[in-house]
Structure formats: structure tokens, C-alpha cells
Structure 1
């Protein structure tokens, strides 16, 4: 009888302990504290917001906005079982303050400029800055790369789609364009994806790994899901296999360039700049360090510009008034002579205020890095007075900030490029803390001018040549990743302008 009595006592004791824990942690994750200096997000006893967050992970950006709406303030505290305590904020002062921290994406980005800190970050930024100069922008980038590949895209994809009366996936096409251009700018390598209209395995694996990185941030079982994928989805590539595809792509580029340099060839691309650089210890960069530089540059160029262009076309098609005003500026400024003269095209686009305003307004509503998170390495106090403890995650959403009436006014959710134009017609500049589309502070995006230039060159030339129309019946929603792609792409019909 003793074992049965013992089992009964143990069961009662466990139930009592569970009851006491439920009473104490009745609205938050177990063993987390209620913060008195900051509003607390409502959650389930013992689990906090874990189940709600996992259930809504595919719409996490809207979930973030829902949670923030629970308070009149701009900062709140949330706990989820299995994840670090989280401070959620849309306060521009806090966003400006939080620029450094531990990253959660190192298997993909390694110690590249996105994930690096301190000396590693500084030397990579200094090395990369060599390629981002005005002469390159005006001459090489604009004409020899961007316009050249736009002409290929027109001939190989858009003209044929028009002739056949068939729709295209604009997002898929523009991804190939930006991948082609940035791989060439960074590494002197021609993929010819636009010539052959092929699928690039590297790009597919890169997208999968970005999505996996995001899942680890929002779900306590993110890594477990990746590990179980071969069992749950037999036949699909595993995370390790996708990483191998990415590594093979990067290391093959590096090896090929080493052989070319050994033969006496000279290059001015980004990879060559890193190959002659030294790390903080004064040593040549290892293949792993070069790989990290490769991948960080590609995501900075390929994803950001392609996604912004895709969302821009969608917003223009949904807002004919804006499209007509933009087309008017393009027709006035971009003559045939200007289009064929790269320096003139560069100088002209720089002064096209409404084109910039459209581009910036899309980035306000659909930022390419819509959600960011940093982990506190030590105790701190945010500018709004919130106490941050070592190990806390500080999570902010550029997506939620762009839709916040507290930041942008009552028309925050409206697509209104005019908000970027001053009374004198000049372009308005906003603080990175209010509009963190390109980050801010010392980590402000090194390639923001290049990304804007490529985006606007592509936008004005495509709209000058073609008229697009949405294919009816498609669902336009984002897919959660580290960046901000459309889940199902953007299907459009193509028509030539005059």
C-alpha cells in the first residue's frame, strides 16, 4: 500500500505546486517577473503569450500591432515560455537607442556585417565602403550593370510576356534581376538567370534559411521543427542541406576568385576588396570570413531592392492617382537621351522628388526588415524610462511603426507619397529613429544609396516602357521571414507603353 499512498501524495503535491504557480504566474510565463515600470502584455498562466504568438507567427507583424494596441503607450513587456523576456516597443527614441546586441542568425550570416559587433563590424564596414563611391554610382553601377540587366529583362521576359499575353510573377522576375546585379557588383560573377529564366538553387535555399531564422525567434520549438522536418516532410531538403547549397555557392565564388588573382587578373569588386583586407588581428581573411561577407552583401542587395520594387508596383496599381502622377514625372524627366546616358540618368533620378517619395512611402508601410530584435548584454535603461535587464530581448517593428498614428498622424495607414514632399517641392528627410527603413546611428545601412539608386533606376525605366495590370483573384499577403517578401508573388499582365 505504501507505493500507492506515496504516488497519491506525490500527485497531490504536484497539483498543489502547479496551483500555486498558476496563481502566482496567472498572466505570464512561469518564472518571469511582472514589470511594474512598463505595461504587461496579457497572456495565459504559466505560458504567457507563447501559444498566441506561435498560432499567429505567419501574421506576426499584425500580431505585434495587436499587442501594442493593448496599451496607450508605445512600449510593453511580454513573456513567452521557452523564449527570453521581451520588451516590445515602437517608440522612436528606444529604437534609436538600441543598435547593438547578440544575433540569432549566425548559421546563415556567420560574422558578416549584419551579425558582427565591435572590431569585426568596423573593419567589414570600412572595407565594404570602398565600393560605395559616387563615381561608381554615376558610371559603372547605373549603366554597365543596372540598365544593362534591365534591357536583358525587357527582352527576355517582359517583351515575350506581352507578345504571348501571358502574366508574369513580378517578384520572381525582379529577384533574379537584383540577384544578378549584386552578385556581379560584389563578386564579378555573371549568373545569367535573366538570360535563361532559370531557377537559382542558391536563391531558393537562401529564402528557406531566412524563414527558418525567423521561426527560431518567434517560436520556442523553431529548431526542433527544423530537426523533425525530414520526418514530417520526407523528400524535402533539410536545413543543413540548404546551408550546404549556400556554402557551396559562396566557397566556389571565393575559390574561383583566388585562382583568377593568382593568374594576375585584377578586380575592383567587393570580394576582391575583402581578399586584400585584414581582419582585426591583422591577418588575411579566412574562407569562412569571406563567405560571411559574401552572404551579407547579397541579402543587403538582392532582397531589399527586389521586395521594395514588388510592393511598389502593387501599391501603384492599387492607387492609380499616384501612378499617374509618377508617370508624369518620369515622362517629363526621363527622355530617350537621358535613358541612354548613365551619368545623366543618375543625375536626373537624384532630383526626381516624387519618385523618391513613392519609394520612401512604400518603405514606410512595407519595410524590408519589418521586425528586429536585439538581446541586452547588460542592464540598461531605455530613453522612455523602461528598465532593460541582462538577457532581455528588445523587439521593435518598423512595420508597426509605419502604421502608428502616434508617429505618423491620423493618416498613418494611408499610402500618401506627398507626406515626403515639402512645401517648396523638395524631398523631406525623416529621422532614422522615426523611419528605420535603413537602420540608424553607426549601423545605418552602408548600401542605402545604392539600393535606392537601383530601385529607382528599375522603377522609372520599367514604368516608362511598360504598363502593368494585376491578375485578378490573387491573395497579396506577406510571408514571415527576416525580410519582407510577398507570400505568393505578384502576378501581373504586361503591356507596352506608346
Structure 2
């Protein structure tokens, strides 16, 4: 009987909470409409639903939001705490990311959601912290020594991956290609970032445990965007929030252990100039950055930027090549010619010829990769917070505190941007009459954000 009473109370509480939330949403919709009718001269984008619709469509979220973008262009979803504006219009995107960049940032909302995992990294902060990290990172990542070092690391792991795939194919084994891409990229990022051989491709238990915790934490953090009760769950340490906390502990233990080891290594080798210090962590230590929390956040954000984006793009690229044999043949032929490879050439020989000159000749490969990113961008949506009342170039208003989201995934499927064949995989759209790669505006093709 007590159990039945408890269940009854729980159901009543849930129903009451939902009723309150729905009442808030209705009130917000009415107040926005009333405010427009009172002659405030503000126009707001059409309401396409609520965040509960996102929750119900979470299993097909990007398709759902693309459907709304096709129907409305730019639209609003009501939330109990703020308006959420979603746009797939290049003029709005350029305004947010370039023209009025200072008025759109991560804000407190995004920081609260992301900071448990990413700390005060470049993906979570605004203002001086963001500028400092961008300045330091841009300088370090543009250094020739780091570019040369990372090229060697990625080529070496690419050869190792190619050999593993070749062996599996020869023995008719089934394998998960995305998992292998994730492991290969993770190994490369850790070598470039920490100077550490993680060897997740080789089955390292420590590397596998970290990678799993990181993947689970990323998914659970994303879930917070559609779960309005996540803060309560975090406070009570229940459900997905309890799982997230455990996974972040695994990540932190692993990261801090590596950082401590690297600091000790630096202290013991300061007088040994023969030791190479090409990895990113070593280069930050050379700048006397020794706060473990800061270093953890820097490297983890670098990991997010480099690992998932590269691995998912490669996965979709290979998938599209499998679906389009004609494109596959053209890419393979171009790579063979650019690297002067023969049928009998080894993977090491091909990799040795992967220099800037060879890459410049791979115009069709560049086009095929860009076409993959157009349809399957590594970052499907990106959210900003509006810092002060504003009017977007389409003439509609956004208010201080509104979340404004641009949608690269939906934009790649908009016919008004890419033509009637927007949903067709066609690398040739990126080539000019001479077969040379032709870049598109970065506000139209947002895979790498708008270029200043």
C-alpha cells in the first residue's frame, strides 16, 4: 500500500511539474504575441514547438530540426527559461559569427551545461578567458614544429590503421570502422597533445576505459540541452547525472595522472636540451602554465576539437564512398597519381609521399571531403546566447538571454542555399571548369565556422 501511495505521489508530482512548465510556455507565447500587438515594433520568428518536441524526437533530432527549417526557415522553440531561436539562414549565421560576434557567445546557460566536462576551456568561456586561450592556442598550433610533428604522428597512425583494415579484409573479418577511426584519432591526438602513446588501437585497457568514459560523458552532457530537470538530478545525484559524475571522475583521474607525470618529466629534464618537447602539453609547460586544472581543460577541449570531428567525418566520408562507387574510383585514382603509388606500393611508401605538393594535387579528394562535411558536418548544431536585445538581418528580433542556434546539418539540405539537388552527394559542385577546388562562403558552408 505504501508503494502504491509513493507511486501515486510521484505521478502526481510529475504531472504537476509538467502542467506548470506547460503553463509557463503558454504564458510566454501569449506575452510575446501581446507585446507585438502593443506596438513594440518587434517581430518574432514563428513558434514551431517546444523543447518537449525535441525530447520526443531525440532519436531523429537533426532530421526533425531540418524538417522545421525547411518549413519555417528560422523558427522558435519555447522553453520554460528562455526562447530558443533556430536558424539555417546564411545571413543570420554571418551576423552571429562575424558582423555582431561580440553579442553572441556561450553565456551562462551553455557554460553550466558544458563546464562539468569541459571546465573553463575554449568551448565554454567568453571574454578575456576565450581571447587568451585562442591567442595562445593559435600561436602554438600554427608553429611549424607542431605542424610537422602532428603530420608525422597522424601519418604513422594512418598507416597502422590501413594495415589493420587490410589484414581484416584479407581474413574476411567484420569490423566497426567508426570505432577504429575513433581509436586511431584518439591515439594521434594524445601523442600530439601529451606526447603519450595511448595505444587504444592496440587494445590498451587504460585507453579504452578513458575513451568509453569520454564518449558517455559527451552524450550525457548533450542530453542536458533537452532535459529541463538535469540540475535537480545533479543535486540529488540520480539518473543520468549520477552516471555523468562517475564518468567525469574516470576522465579526471586519467588526465591528472598524465599531467603530473608530464610536470615531473619536465622538472627532471630542464637541463637536458636533447629531449624533444614538441607535444602541446610540453609547449604549454614551457610557457610556465602549471595549473593542473587549466591544463586539463585546455587539452580536453583540444581533444574534443580534434578527435570526434576527424573520426566522424572520416566515417561519413567512407560511408559515402561505399554508396557512390564512381566517386570512390575517382578519389582512389587521384590519390594514386598524386603519390606516384603503384599497385605494389606499401602503405609506408604511399604515406612517405603524402607531402604538401601531393596534397595540392588532390582537388577531387578535397571536393569529396567538403561535400561530406556539407551533408554530415562534425558539429550539426551550435548554440549561442544573445547578450543584448538585437535584430537579425532577416528583420526579426531576438531578446537578451535568448539562445540562438545555427544549424550546419540543416543548412546543408536547404535548396535555397545549394540548389534543387541539395540532398544529393555531388563532389563536382565544389570544382570549377578546370577541375580545381572552388571554396564556398564560410557563412554558407559553416563546417569551419565563419572566417574573419
Please say whether Structure 1 and Structure 2 have the same fold, judged by a TM-score greater than 0.5.
yes
Q: Is the partner of 1:384 in helix, strand or coil?
A: coil
1:172 aligns with 2:179: yes
- 1:94-113 counterparts in 2 under 5 A? 94-99=92-97, 100-102=105-107, 103=110, 104-113=113-122
> What residue is the counterpart of 2:246 in the other structure?
241
For each residue in 1:406-427, what CA deviation from the matched residue of structure 2 results, as whole angstroms up to 9, or x when unmatched? Answer: 1111111010111111112221
Task: Name the SS for the 2:369 alignment partner.
Answer: helix
2:427 aligned to which of 417, 424, 429: 417
Check whether the contact 1:86–1:393 (CA below 8 A) recurs between aligned residues: yes
- Alignment match, 2:220: 212
Is the partner of 1:196 in helix, strand or coil? coil
The match for 2:127 is 118
2:53 is matched with 52
Q: What is the aligned partner in structure 1 of residue 322 from structure 2?
A: 317
How far did residue 42 of structure 1 move?
4.0
Aligned residue in 2 for 1:93: 91
Query: Which whole-Å deviations, capped at 9, do the CAs of 1:368-401 have from their partners, x for residues lacking one?
Result: 1101111112222222222121111101210000
Q: Does 1:61 find its partner at 2:62? A: yes
Aligned to 1:79: 78
| TM-fit CA distance, 1:222 | 3.9
Confirm or deny: 8 A CA contact 2:45 2:396 kept in the other structure.
Answer: no
Q: Distance in 2 between matches of 1:231 and 1:116?
A: 27
Count of matched residue pairs:
404
Does the CA contact (< 8 Å) of 2:391 and 2:397 recur in 1? yes
> What are the Cα deviations for residues 90-129 of structure 1, in whole angstroms up to 9, with x where unaligned?
1112112224231231111111111222221222122222
- What does 1:188-337 align with in structure 2 at a 5 Å threshold? 188-196=195-203, 200-224=208-232, 238-265=243-270, 266=275, 267-277=277-287, 284=289, 286-336=291-341
Indicate the larger mover: 269-278 or 427-436.
269-278
Cα distance in 2 for partners of 1:256, 1:319 equals 47
In 2, the alpha carbon distance for the partners of 1:417 and 1:90 equals: 22
Residues 321 and 226 (structure 1 numbering): CA distance in 2 closer, same or farther, change over 3 Å?
Answer: farther
2:137 maps to 1:128: yes
Query: Of 36, 41, 44, which aligns to 2:47?
Result: 41
Q: Which has the higher helix share?
A: 2
Aligned mates of 2:223, 2:426 — CA distance in 1: 33
1:427 to 414, 427, 437: 437
Task: Write the deviation string for residues 339-359 of structure 1: whole angstroms up to 9, x where unpaired.
Answer: 457475332113311001111
Q: Contact 2:380–2:409 (CA<8 Å) still a contact in 1? A: yes
CA contact (8 A) 2:90 2:443 kept: yes
Unaligned runs of 5+ in 2: 1-18, 37-41, 98-104
Give yes or no for contact 1:371–1:397 (8 Å, CA) kept in 2: yes
Question: Residues 340 and 51 of structure 1: is their aligned pair in 2 closer, same or farther, counting only changes over 3 Å?
Answer: closer
1:195, CA displacement in angstroms?
A: 2.7
Q: Distance in 2 between matches of 1:41 and 1:77?
A: 5
Q: Any unmatched runs of 5+ in structure 1?
A: 1-17, 44-48, 279-283, 443-498
Give the CA deviation at 1:254.
Answer: 1.1
- 1:203-257 Cα offsets, whole Å, 9 max, x none, are 111111211222111231344566788569xxx9711111111111221121111
Alpha carbons of structure 1 residues 237 and 175: separation in structure 2 relative to 1, 3 Å:
farther
